Amino acid sequence: MDVKFPEGFYFGSATSAAQAEGAHTADHKAPDIWDLWFEEEPYKFHGGVGPADTSTFFEHWREDIELLHETGHNSFRTSISWSRLLPDPEGDPNPEAVEFYRNVFGTLRDEGIEPFVNLFHFDMPVALQERGGWESREVVDLYERYARIAFELFGDVVKRWYTFNEPIVHVECGYLQQYHYPCKVDPKAAAQVAYHTALASALAVRACHEVLPDAKIGIVLNLTPAYPRSENPADARAAHIAELFANKSFLDPSVHGAYDPELVELIKKHGLMPVVDETDLAIILDNTVDYLGVNFYQPLRVCARASLPNPEAPFMPTYYYDVYAMPGRRMNPHRGWEIYPHALYDIAINLRDNYGNIEWIVSENGMGVEGEEKFRGSDGAIQDDYRIDFIKEHLTELARGIDEGSNCIGYHLWTFIDCWSWLNAYKNRYGLVELDLETQERRIKKSGRWYKQLAESRGF
């Protein structure tokens, strides 16, 4: 065997409530921002397919857990829908949601599949967006309340928690780039949202440690190592600043409990300092995560800017760098993302050397492909050898990092069943299991069969 992982290594996959559950208004779930946005501007969603048309995990969870077995999972990440659990964010938990999540998490545990449960995956309840969303301090407090309720309700069966998925994404996409609701271009709000999210994460860590002293709680960050075009000092400086905004902005407060002073200086220089309560920084310092989830899809390549930034334009981190399209880079053309498995090794070493060798897991990695039906084999299953190769290449780099001492405990693929992907809806398929959108029938792909062998032999 060329690549072998340690005993107890987690093999599994990840999904999220809004992308998998469906039943978006059943069981008294209140709307989240995706429901609202689709209602307002359905044409923005690929093929006009919205959040009601997901893979119906809400109905098919038993059958889906069976499929988790058949594809070798010993662990599985999903999230709780805040607006399903607490349709009134200040009210009591929705009993039907409690029953659903208890059934799912309890069954996973009974079946020997470790549940990793995330509290927030881009799905702000509308009732709270109307009160300012992450711009509002009140929402931070209500998030802490929600987290505490979740720990109390499910802590007997869930031992691994996450506070947030990819927090930089709702900051950038919601407040700078218009890929998420509320589609603002407002750097000052973005800074406040980023800061409130880091604070909310620390408050949830504190609550988890109080309510569930034996559980572990982490945060899922999409780490995109910033590589400079060249060793030229101007390119190196561009990469250094890109790294501050893209990665260190959440990595440092989550793991070190404090922001990098250089990032703070840049935020000040651009007049973007958020409103901070006196006691907040101590909360962030005292409540760092127990482990990290790392989503990795693509690196960030940058170079020195070719032109001076417009001083009147709203501030974006690209004030300091240009995104660089490296000649000869390997691309996944369907998603437009570069494929660069070596970055996973670099992440492993960065966490080992600069973040106290914190325990971590690859919490997402995967390949979205459009038009997979054309790869259907004579047995009816999609022959997605490209996905198997993609996973192997990334696991090879990961194993190298582990051999050199990085404390990685598992690998979760994105994703289990083809799922609804925000504005891209069902354009790209990521699953180990194919979903027939018409019939909701599930069919294991070649990669799903291979994944089981991988997990059983802990390598390939």
User: Which residues are part of the catalytic machinery?
Assistant: 166, 364
SS3 of 415-453: the string is: CCECCCCHHHCCCCECCCEEECCCCCCEEECHHHHHHHH
User: Does 422 engage in binding with ligand BGP (CB under 6 A)?
Assistant: yes
> From CA 259, how far away is CA 262, in angstroms rounded?
8
Sign of the CA dihedral with 139 first, then 244, 396, and 409 last: negative
Q: How far is the CB of 74 from ligand BGP (least distance, A)?
A: 21
When the beta carbons of 16 and 83 are compared against ligand BGP, the nearer one is 16
402 Cβ contact list (under 8 Å, min separation 6):
5, 6, 348, 408
| Residue 166 vs 372, nearer CB to ligand BGP | 166
The CB density around residue 49, as the number of other CB atoms within 10 Å, is 18
8 Å CB contact between 220 and 363? yes
Smallest gap from Cβ 168 to ligand BGP, in A, equals 10
Does residue 332 interact with ligand BGP by CB under 6 A?
no
Binding mask 236-275 for ligand BGP (x = CB under 6 A): ----------------------------------------
For ligand BGP, which stretch binds (CB under 6 A), given 135-143, 208-216, 226-234, 414-422? 414-422
Q: Looking at beta carbons only, is 222 or 350 nearer to ligand BGP?
A: 222
Q: Does 166 bind ligand BGP (CB under 6 A)?
A: yes
Least spacing, CB of residue 380 vs ligand BGP, in Å: 25
Q: Which two tokens stand for residue 63?
A: 């059958």
365 binds ligand BGP (CB under 6 A): no
Q: Work out how close the CB of 81 gets to ligand BGP at its nearest, in angstroms, rounded to a whole number.
A: 13
Strands 360-364 and 291-295: parallel
Q: How far is CA 432 from CA 1, 142, 350, in A?
A: 23, 36, 30
Is residue 395 within 8 Å of 460, Cβ to Cβ? Answer: yes
Binding part of the chain for ligand BGP, among 34-42, 44-52, 87-95, 421-429 by CB under 6 A, reads 421-429
Kindly state whether residue 411 participates in binding ligand BGP, applying the rule CB under 6 A.
no
Q: What binding mask, one character per residue, do residues 193-232 give for ligand BGP by CB under 6 A, x or -?
A: -----------------------------x----------
Q: What are the distances in angstroms from CA 23 to CA 41, 52, 125, 281, 396?
A: 20, 6, 15, 39, 39
Which residue number has the CB closest to ligand BGP?
421
Compare residues 17 and 395 and give the one whose CB is closer to ligand BGP. Answer: 17
The reply on whether position 177 binds ligand BGP by CB under 6 A is no
Q: How far is the CB of 1 from ligand BGP (least distance, A)?
A: 30
The C-alpha torsion from 39 through 43 and 45 to 48, rounded to 10°, is 90
Q: Which is nearer to ligand BGP, 222 or 406 (CB)?
A: 222
Phi, psi of 350 (to 5 degrees): -60, -45
Smallest gap from residue 418 Cβ to ligand BGP (A): 11
DSSP 380: S
* Total residues in contact with ligand BGP, by rule CB under 6 A: 14
Say whether residue 79 binds ligand BGP (CB under 6 A).
Answer: no
| Closer of 427 and 449 to ligand BGP (Cβ) | 427
Handedness of CA 198, 204, 206, 209 (dihedral sign): negative
In sequence order, the β-bridge partners of residue 331 are 338
Convert 292-309 into a string of H (helix), E (strand) and C (coil): EEEECCCCEEEECCCCCC
Is the CB of residue 177 less than 8 Å from the CB of residue 190?
Answer: no
Q: Which of 13, 165, 288, 406 binds ligand BGP (CB under 6 A)?
A: 165
Pick between residue 289 and residue 402 the one whose CB is nearest to ligand BGP.
289
Q: Is 414 an interacting residue with respect to ligand BGP (CB under 6 A)?
A: yes
Contacts 24+ apart (CB under 8 A), 257-261: 257/202, 257/284, 257/285, 257/286, 257/287, 257/288, 258/284, 258/285
Q: What is the dihedral of CA 337, 343, 348, 354, to 10 degrees?
A: -100
Of positions 428, 432, 445, 446, contacts ligand BGP by CB under 6 A: 428
> What character string, x for contact with ligand BGP (CB under 6 A) and - otherwise, covers 37-76?
----------------------------------------
Task: Tell the smallest beta-carbon distance from residue 249 to ligand BGP (Å).
Answer: 16
Smallest gap from Cβ 428 to ligand BGP, in A, equals 5
Residues within window 264-323 making contact with ligand BGP, judged by CB under 6 A = 295
Handedness of CA 297, 302, 308, 311 (dihedral sign): positive
In whole angstroms, give the CA distance from residue 164 to residue 159: 16
Examine residue 368 and tell whether it contacts ligand BGP (CB under 6 A): yes
Residue list 380-409, contact with ligand BGP (CB under 6 A): none
Strands 331-332 and 337-338: antiparallel
Q: How far is the CB of 431 from ligand BGP (least distance, A)?
A: 11
Contacting residues toward ligand BGP, per CB under 6 A: 16, 19, 165-166, 222, 295, 335, 364, 368, 414, 421-422, 424, 428
